[in-house]
Structure 1
């Protein structure tokens, strides 16, 4: 039997499968603190004053939001999110860990507070990571003059501007991350150059050209983001700089899973 959904003055609502990604924000009329959770088959929103545990996992009849439906490694009820002391809290009750950031795994039996704004959660399976999108509506900015308004804007995560060429290269470089492969690593420069030569043979791609484009992006973002310069990372550096760049671009939603279509479109354009 499908789990019941409490009805409290429309404070608990279903999100349809075609709701779209939570990466691009919410309508301004949403009550601050409202929780939005979205899986591949839709999701749910819950007002902050409703006592309700949102359950997610792979068994659609046994959860409110389905994730990893075809992966038997994901638990039927893998976790839940509850309201606790003015914060939404993630609880992992499944076997697999849940990645909440580049450096934080919530293991079975553990919990983590969810911040305001967008947080992609990844259930880390042995063959694939399964995305569960979460967004907590941020408090409204108080209109107290230009200085306060400017200060509030600087707190928002920034979608970094990239040229079409830069976006193509970083998407190619970080495609394993965008595909949610387990333990992803950036492609090597040789792999990037080879793939781009196939996609755009008229542009004469080389390892050096691809590396130069990505280096320029790292240097530009390094004015605001740490961990993108060699002197900021302890040796051996290895793939760390490119890894940090890809994670920043993903967390800021500068690059999305949908951007993998750039590689497909490029290939189609040559057909």
Structure 2
């Protein structure tokens, strides 16, 4: 059975309009200040029904409101709403603006079910991006690292480059031991590893990468900051599996 998806774009419509789609329905609104879309389990009382048979989804799970030239998503339900980049939006938190284009929202319900609500904010192209079959492929945005930063992050993130399931960064103490073996004439310590990695996190956070500062991940932080950093570096191909050749000098 084929299911319509907004990921392919939307029919041509006015810039700034929003389209919301779930398994149970679809609604389109023009970009008029103050317009609101309600979504949740209670079909008679909401504009878009989502999670209709799942009692863990709230009857009114959230709202979309047009304000100050943007569409803002708010959570009014009991469950968090998951946005891209694993961002969680909880009840009564400040609304989050939706960017132009496609945004999927996920609500996790009972028995690990996830309910999808697709959003599409129409940009100035009018909705349907033009096909560009012969256009030159754009390379991902790679981040510039110094040699020391690159080596330290390959060591710290080697499990990500080895394609392990659910990888985590190795400890900075372990990373310092490996770096000291690779570069015995360099003063590598756990504190230096921590400073190097913190500098990279701060630099990428200032460039707009989300989840690299404590305020964005909440408590307890654990490995979340370095995990988010390493995932960004791998997804951007700043770190790639062939970088593991840097570790070939290790003695096992």
1:61 partner SS: helix
1:102 partner SS: helix
2:51 partner SS: coil
Q: Is the contact between residue 120 and residue 131 of structure 1 (CA under 8 Å) also seen in structure 2?
A: yes
1:85 paired to 2:11? no
User: What's 1:22 paired with?
Assistant: 6
Which structure's relative contact order is higher, taking Cα pairs within 8 Å and 6+ residues apart? 2
Q: TM-score, structure 1 length as denominator? A: 0.48
Q: Is the contact between residue 40 and residue 49 of structure 2 (CA under 8 Å) also seen in structure 1?
A: yes
Q: Is the contact between residue 102 and residue 119 of structure 2 (CA under 8 Å) also seen in structure 1?
A: yes
Deviation at 1:89, TM superposition (A): 0.1
Q: TM-score, structure 2 length as denominator? A: 0.51
1:123 paired to 2:123? no
Deviation at 1:99, TM superposition (A): 0.6
User: What's 1:239 paired with?
Assistant: 165
Q: Aligned ranges for residues 244-255 of structure 1 at < 5 Å?
A: none
Within 1, Cα distance between the matches of 2:140 and 2:70?
28
Q: Residues 114 and 71 from structure 1, CA distance in 2 versus in 1: closer, same or farther, beyond 3 angstroms?
A: same
Within 2, Cα distance between the matches of 1:36 and 1:232?
44
Deviation at 1:129, TM superposition (A): 1.2
Cα RMSD, aligned residues only: 3.6
Q: Aligned ranges for residues 67-146 of structure 1 at < 5 Å?
A: 67-110=50-93, 111-126=95-110, 127-140=112-125
Superimposed CA distance per residue, residues 108-143 of structure 1 (whole angstroms, 9 cap, x where no aligned partner): 1122110100000001224211100100001139xx
User: What's 1:37 paired with?
Assistant: 20
Q: Residues 19 and 222 from structure 1, CA distance in 2 versus in 1: closer, same or farther, beyond 3 angstroms?
A: closer
> Which of the pair has more CA radius of gyration?
2
2:7 partner SS: coil
Deviation at 1:51, TM superposition (A): 3.2
Deviation at 1:235, TM superposition (A): 5.3
Structure 1 residues not aligned, in runs of 5+: 1-17, 142-152, 160-220, 249-271
Structure 2 residues not aligned, in runs of 5+: 144-149, 168-226, 236-252
Q: Residues 232 and 133 from structure 1, CA distance in 2 versus in 1: closer, same or farther, beyond 3 angstroms?
A: farther
Q: Is the contact between residue 61 and residue 78 of structure 2 (CA under 8 Å) also seen in structure 1?
A: yes
1:76 partner SS: coil
Deviation at 1:50, TM superposition (A): 5.3
Within 1, Cα distance between the matches of 2:59 and 2:19?
21
Within 2, Cα distance between the matches of 1:115 and 1:232?
35
Of 13, 35, 39, which residue of structure 2 is paired with 1:52? 35
